[in-house]
Amino acid sequence: MQKEVDLVIIGGGQSALASGYFLRRTGLDYLILDDKETCGGSWSQTWESLTLFSPSKFSSLPGYMMPDSAGEYPVREEVIAYLCAYEKRYDIPIKRGVRVTQITRENGVFIIQTAGREQIKSKAVISATGTWQNPFIPEVSGRRRFQGLQMHSMEYQNSKAFERKRVLVVGEGNTGAQLLAEVSKVAQTFWATHEQPEYLPDDVDGRVLFDLATAKYEAEKLGKPFDASRYHLGNIVMTPSVKEARDRGVLISKGRISVLEETAVVWENGGRDDIDAILWCTGFGFATDHLSGLVSVDARGRISTENTRCKDIPGLWLVGYGGWTGFASATLIGVGRSARQTVKDIVDYLKDLK
């Protein structure tokens, strides 16, 4: 089967939906390819208790506000319901269960190959696959000799697999703190961090962080200094679950890992603890393997870009990969800015082709 369109968007999550919103009145013939079978993007794969940092009205895509949540912050199921409703509201054309395996370019036209052997031709491409499919686990000495359970946060759904075990949680970011808080209720936990964790004040949430990040972004654009001394944007947000874990006294880092043994962790300070399982909360690279046939992709999944535009391949854009391809573009509230400008650029690019 072969189809030719003006634009293909790869990935069906929040970045693709925001792009679809701005594509509605362009008159372009476009198609979104999503490897998921259901709506909701990567949110349908996150852990069950995941909660946003910000209230609904500060967590919305362009055009349609997320409905008020039952609690202070929207939970995973509320975000999924919102994304599904958004897709339906704007009649965004998504073809599901389609995994793109490779993209090539011939005579100025992109050829998209899928796992189902379908071939689609397109004049332009937006890659909007995010990070979720590219989990990162550091090569800690002895990791491959460890005999117990190892799980990345990408695979984590709930704490059942860790009940009554001795669990090493690795990673000092928000994910590490939140999953440590949850797992420590059913298991004996040890927290490994590269640096000692630092925390934001209890009253600081995503609203404050987005305003500060915006102020920093605008200052840098104008070449002005920005005072970042008040809050460090990378510090851990004190969500209700993290506050509760602090009150239980479990937010205690044992520092860096020296080596992993078959059934134990040896710490940099020489201490040793027996463990049954490791939960890696060590982040992600960028899920851009599908671009490797087009352009050089580095170890983290990056390619050379100017804002969202690929510098080396005309007609290729990347939306929603965080600060790499647009300010706050990995967030619900932030991706609209990148999506709007990208759609404008694509419209201009296609006009020039005629």
Query: Which uninterrupted H or E stretch holds 80?
Result: helix 76-89
Domains of the chain: 2-134+284-353 (3.50.50.60), 143-199+236-280 (3.50.50.60)
Task: Note the pLDDT of residue 327.
Answer: 80
pLDDT band at 230 (very low <50, low <70, confident <90, very high): low
Q: What is the mean pLDDT of residues 276-303?
A: 95
pTM value surpassing 0.85: yes
pLDDT 10s digits, 30-85: 999 999 999 999 999 999 999 998 889 889 999 999 999 999 899 999 999 999 99
Q: Quick count: other Cβ atoms within 10 Å of Cβ 71?
A: 11
Q: What is the mean pLDDT of residues 185-191?
A: 98
How far apart CA 316 and CA 75 sit, in angstroms, is 34
Task: Note the pLDDT of residue 224.
Answer: 66
Q: What is the mean pLDDT of residues 280-287?
A: 96
pLDDT band at 219 (very low <50, low <70, confident <90, very high): low
pLDDT band at 3 (very low <50, low <70, confident <90, very high): confident
pLDDT 10s digits, 87-98: 999 999 999 999
- Residue 310 in tokens: 């690929």
DSSP secondary structure code for residue 115 in this structure: T
SS (H, E, C) 150-209: EEECCCCCCHHHHCCCEEEEECCCHHHHHHHHHHCCCCEEEEECCCCCCECCCCCCHHHH
Task: Note the pLDDT of residue 202.
Answer: 85
How far apart CA 164 and CA 282 sit, in angstroms, is 23
How far apart CA 47 and CA 79 sit, in angstroms, is 13
Q: Provide the CA 86 distance to its chain's centre, in angstroms.
A: 19
pLDDT 10s digits, 331-345: 998 899 999 999 999
pLDDT band at 328 (very low <50, low <70, confident <90, very high): confident
Task: Note the pLDDT of residue 57.
Answer: 86
**CB contact at 8 A, 8 and 125:** yes
How far apart CA 245 and CA 185 sit, in angstroms, is 9
Q: What is the mean pLDDT of residues 114-127?
A: 93
Which of 230, 225, 223, 176 lies closest to 203 in space, CA to CA? 230
Return the percent helix, strand and coil in the chain, to nearest 5: 30, 25, 50
**CB contact at 8 A, 12 and 39:** yes
**Position of tokens 């936990």?**
189
Handedness of CA 120, 285, 306, 218 (dihedral sign): positive
pLDDT band at 106 (very low <50, low <70, confident <90, very high): very high
Name the 3-class secondary structure at 215: helix
pLDDT band at 201 (very low <50, low <70, confident <90, very high): confident
pLDDT 10s digits, 130-158: 999 999 999 999 999 999 999 999 999 99
pLDDT value at 229 more than 60? no
- Residue 271 in tokens: 């201490």
Q: What is the mean pLDDT of residues 314-319?
A: 98
pLDDT mean across residues, the chain: 92
Do the strands 100-106 and 109-114 form a parallel or antiparallel pair, or are they unpaired? Answer: antiparallel
Task: Note the pLDDT of residue 191.
Answer: 98
How far apart CA 37 and CA 24 sit, in angstroms, is 23
pLDDT value at 228 more than 80? no
How far apart CA 326 and CA 178 sit, in angstroms, is 26
